[in-house]
Amino acid sequence: MEDCLAKKMEITVSEAEKRTGRNAMNIQETYTAYLIETRAVESQSEGQCAPVESLWRRYSEFELLRNYLSVTYPHIVVPPLPEKRADFVWHKLSADNMDPDFVERRRIGLENFLLRVASHPVLCQDKIFYAFLMQEGGWKEMVNETGFQLKADSRLKALNATFRVKNPDKRFTELKHYSDELQSVISHLLRVRARVADRLYGVYKVHGNYGRVFSEWSAIEKEMGDGLQSAGHHMDVYAASIDDILEEEEHYADQLKEYLFYAEALRAVCRKHELMQYDLEMAAQDLTSKKQQCEELATGTVRTFSLKGMTSKLFGQETPEQREAKIKVLEEQIQEGEEQLKSKNLESRDFVKSAWADIERFKEQKNHDLKEALISYAVMQISMCKKGIQVWTNAKECFSKM
């Protein structure tokens, strides 16, 4: 961790800007660009003021970077991007992806994504990631030249592997189930939070009615008027405060959403392992089949029914020379198959070792982050309750002075 990029460089997404331009289809579009600023830490420690490097990136470029990292490092739980469009929001909040409040939260999420990658012991050393931070022109071409898209596995292939693997690794199966359950639990929690936020919004705003009634009442009371007016003012302030409170609460919701999307990153690692296991089993099955064919040719016996066996009976046996030639070809294929199987076994063992080390790192990070987010959320709720108690305490004092 001492060598990670986050220790050597300050990385911020400092600004978001709405822009208009033409896309690849030459169609006019409006999009948001984000300003990434970087500064070397070493120069600052030496008492020098390091220059700030800056460049603009679109959300789609962040997506391209993450896709590249996911394909290039299949054994790593790659940090997720913040949502492209708002989801699980309380109904008074805009779900428009151009809404300033949403853009601001996404700016924070994109900065967090870059810091996650820069803090990862493996991902932080990737040259494409470093170029993303430092090289504005020609970066997309540089990514595409890696040919990472050719390595991407199709969903159909992944689905096929899921259903056809005969000996799945129990640890990855359990991890896949865990990620499904984690996503389900956090989704439910976010839906509950959105409903609570809606009701809370209504309760706070109704306090504005207290303010209006107390103000109207104060106009007809001489001795009680000042007290009623003051109490009404406290109610109005309380009613107006909910907008800022719930906007702040969305930041805590975004912390939970990050792990909602991390669940999919966990499943991606599990799918890659299933594909490797499936390829390994297919290679072993093919090798066994070739060995059986070779043995049948050498001994002249057929263990199982085959079209080839039926053909021999109908049209006569092969000559010794033909059989020898076929045996020689099969022996070469068997030797090649054994080498491939050995290579795939080594690759699979290395993948499991690397993946499990990264999953353990992720679990530690997850436990720490979710604990902090939930504590912060509880503290905020306590603060809101205290604010409500203070408002009614102030109102009580106003009533007492009447």
* φ/ψ (deg, to 5) at 304: -125, 160
Q: Which of 199, 190, 237 is nearest to 215 (CA)?
A: 237
pLDDT tens readout for residues 171-216: 999 999 999 999 999 999 999 988 998 899 999 999 999 999 999 9
Let me know if residue 374 belongs to a domain.
Answer: yes
Here the tokens at position 108 are 């924070």
State the residue range of the domain holding 202. Answer: 153-301+320-401
pLDDT tens readout for residues 29-65: 888 999 999 998 875 555 567 788 999 999 999 999 9
Confidence (pLDDT) at 110: 96
Total domains present in the chain: 1
Q: How far is CA 179 from CA 109, 198, 371, in A?
A: 21, 29, 18
Neighbouring C-alpha atoms within 13 Å toward the C-beta of 90: 22
Let me know if residue 197 belongs to a domain.
Answer: yes
Has residue 88 got a pLDDT over 90? no
Let me know if residue 383 belongs to a domain.
Answer: yes
Let me know if residue 7 belongs to a domain.
Answer: no
Query: Can you tell me the distance from the alpha carbon of 130 to that of 135, in angstroms, rounded to the nearest whole number?
Result: 8
Bridge-based pairing of strands 28-40 and 9-22 is antiparallel
Q: Which of 67, 62, 65 is nearest to 84 (CA)?
A: 62
Let me know if residue 363 belongs to a domain.
Answer: yes
Query: Can you tell me the distance from the alpha carbon of 388 to that of 38, in angstroms, rounded to the nearest whole number?
Result: 43
pLDDT tens readout for residues 214-240: 999 999 998 899 999 999 999 999 999
Let me know if residue 230 belongs to a domain.
Answer: yes
Confidence (pLDDT) at 353: 96
Let me know: does 270 contact 179? Beta carbons within 8 Å: yes
Confidence (pLDDT) at 314: 44
Let me know if residue 193 belongs to a domain.
Answer: yes
pLDDT tens readout for residues 303-339: 554 545 545 544 456 677 888 888 889 889 999 999 9
Confidence band (pLDDT; 50, 70, 90) for 83? confident
Has residue 389 got a pLDDT over 60? yes
Query: Can you tell me the distance from the alpha carbon of 232 to that of 304, in angstroms, rounded to the nearest whole number?
Result: 92
pLDDT tens readout for residues 94-107: 555 667 888 888 99
Here the tokens at position 239 are 């009613």
Has residue 2 got a pLDDT over 60? no
Q: Which residue has the higher pLDDT, 356 or 1?
A: 356
User: What CATH number does the domain containing 288 carry?
Assistant: 1.20.1270.60
Let me know if residue 50 belongs to a domain.
Answer: no
